[in-house]
Amino acid sequence: MFKVVLADDETIALEGLRTLTDWEELGFEICGACENGEEALIAIDECSPDLVITDIRMPGIDGLELIKRVRQLDMEQPLFIVLSGYGEFEYARTAIRYGVRHYLLKPVIEAEWEKALADITDELEKRVKHKMQQDMLANRLLPVAIARMVEGQWAEPEEEIAEQMDRLDEAVSGWTYIHVDGPKCLITDICRKLSGAVGALFIDMPGDQAGLVVESSASAAELARRVYTELSRNSSVKGSVSIGPSVQSLRELPVSYMMAVGAAARHLFYSEASGPIDSTMDARIQLSYNLPSADLTEELMGAVERLQEQKALDQLKEMFRMFEVNRTAPEVVQMTSIDIMLKSMELVKEFGGKAEQWSDSFEFFKTEPKSLAVLEDILRDLLNSCMEYIKQHKERGSEHPLIQVEYFLKDNYSRSLTVKEIAEHFYINPVYLGQAFIKRNSISILEYIHNLRIEQAKKQLIETGETVRKIAENVGYVHYHHFLREFEKRTALKPVAYRNQAGAEK
């Protein structure tokens, strides 16, 4: 409530001031009704009113002297309305010299009176907002508290900050969070510069983001447009400005922040920015959280491995077209992109390559904001690089590393081999070799060796007269019983029975 002091030496006139207006409805509280200047001066000193309405001619201290003395007091100066039954120019000129902008003649015309009060009310409201904005900008702890709050690291502020938040909430109808993405130094400079001009609060956030807290009004949209204009001056700079929904208190700003951040992320994926993003409009858009089918991804990677370049790129294009049509959530698109990248890295390793060259791209996939178009371009380049490596590898006359391993095993199955020794021979990680071999052949390396040995043993049993023990040694078994166990597991026959059966079939 604004406070008002009334001063007039005529009792009837003073009572008329009381009843002329519904003061409470206008947001005023009468804290003094005085019949002379001395009483008015005391009342003003005690209650520090926002508005003083005084007559000119009063005994003792008249209205002009009252204004003069109030101007000398160390206090926030009230606004004045001067009422007088005298129309002399000299009184008006003196009142103007003391900063009085409203000088009304008795009897007061209702239209003039209502206009004067309306002007006074507007000016007082602007004064309150200006003071509130100055308090915001002067308190360095408040933006820190808000930054922690919107990041989810804040429970309840210290008493001083909490009290200031409550006072600020009382002075305005609501708050809006403006979220800014872009190069850190640039957006910090822009936000600092523009926040001071309009009384907004600059919020320094981690990473390439910053924020502005402003009173919810048309000025929030205007401030967002100014920030976007500054950010767009450099055509090479990528960034966005998004406006969160209005909230009633500073403690509710995390809601406005999260809505603004979400709108910015979705906008980057599905359209080119042409101005600030309104999160209230963006919230009406429904996103899909369905993953693309596993068959589509497998078909894409199969085309890459077989060097079907056009098919692979068409599959990728179709996948991203589906993302756009279905408005797939950015986090789902990002997860799918990482999966394709990991499969590409694995494929390169299978052909003896090293995937460390894509480690930077992997970090980019995990952390950087990006659009559908940017993601598709990155994956297209990645798949092209993968296919180019496979192509060069084949052009050099090399076989798939696992095929080389198979040839090696066929030539050396009779030796005592371990997975570690084989991996060292081909400069491949043993764990990776074991997993990749199983994936390609559906059996382990050791089982593959046993198969080779038993096949050779079967051949020698049929084509030679060597003893079973000697054949076991020939194919690489040190322990005879081990050979018998592996042979029976694969043929369901003992070696002698197998020889006899094969002889009978001839």
pLDDT surpasses 90 at 218: no
d(CA 57, CA 387): 97
Q: What is the pLDDT of residue 139?
A: 62
* pLDDT tens figures, 59-86: 889 888 999 999 888 888 899 998 887 6
pLDDT of residue 485: 94
- Contacts of 451-457 with CB under 8 Å at 24 or more apart are 451/490, 452/409, 452/410, 452/413, 453/413, 453/414, 453/477, 453/483, 453/486, 454/486, 454/487, 454/490, 454/491, 456/413, 456/414, 457/483, 457/487, 457/495
Q: What is the pLDDT of residues 339-370, one digit of tens each?
A: 898 888 888 877 766 666 565 565 666 555 56
Give me the percent of the chain exceeding a pLDDT of 90.
Answer: 32
pLDDT of residue 334: 83
Query: Do the first three CATH levels of 2-129 and 401-505 match, i.e. the same topology?
Result: no
- The pLDDT tens digits of the residues spanning 128-177 come to 776 766 666 556 678 888 888 888 776 666 777 787 788 788 777 889 99
Which helix H or strand E contains 213, and what residues bound it? strand 209-215
Left, alpha or beta for 207 (phi > 0: left; psi -120 to 50: alpha)? left
Residue 296 has pLDDT above 90, yes or no: no
- Which of 472, 457, 458, 468 lies closest to 505 in space, CA to CA? 458
pLDDT digits (tens, 9 = 90+) for 461-479: 999 999 999 999 999 999 9
* Mean pLDDT, residues 179-196 taken together: 89
- Least Cα distance to 177 among 132, 138, 139, 224 occurs for 224
Domain range list for the chain: 2-129, 139-282, 294-395, 401-505
| Residues paired with residue 214 on neighbouring β-strands, in sequence order | 176
| Cα(209)–Cα(188) distance, integer angstroms | 8
Q: Looking at residue 378, what is its pLDDT?
A: 86
Position 367: which residue type?
Answer: T
Q: Residue 391: what pLDDT?
A: 82
Q: Is the dihedral of CA 289, 290, 294, 300 positive or negative?
A: negative
Average pLDDT, the chain: 84
Confidence of residue 294 (pLDDT cuts 50, 70, 90): confident
CATH topology for the 2-129 domain: Rossmann fold (3.40.50)
Mapped onto helix, strand or coil, the DSSP state of residue 81 is strand
Q: Quick one: pLDDT at residue 364? A: 61
In angstroms, rounded to a whole number, what is the distance separating the alpha carbons of residues 405 and 82? 103
What is residue 309's predicted lDDT score, i.e. its pLDDT? 92
**Which pTM was predicted?**
0.48
How much is the pLDDT for 314?
93
Number of C-beta neighbours around residue 195 at 10 A: 25
For domain 139-282, the CATH architecture is: 2-Layer Sandwich (3.30)
Superfamily of domain 401-505: Homeodomain-like (1.10.10.60)
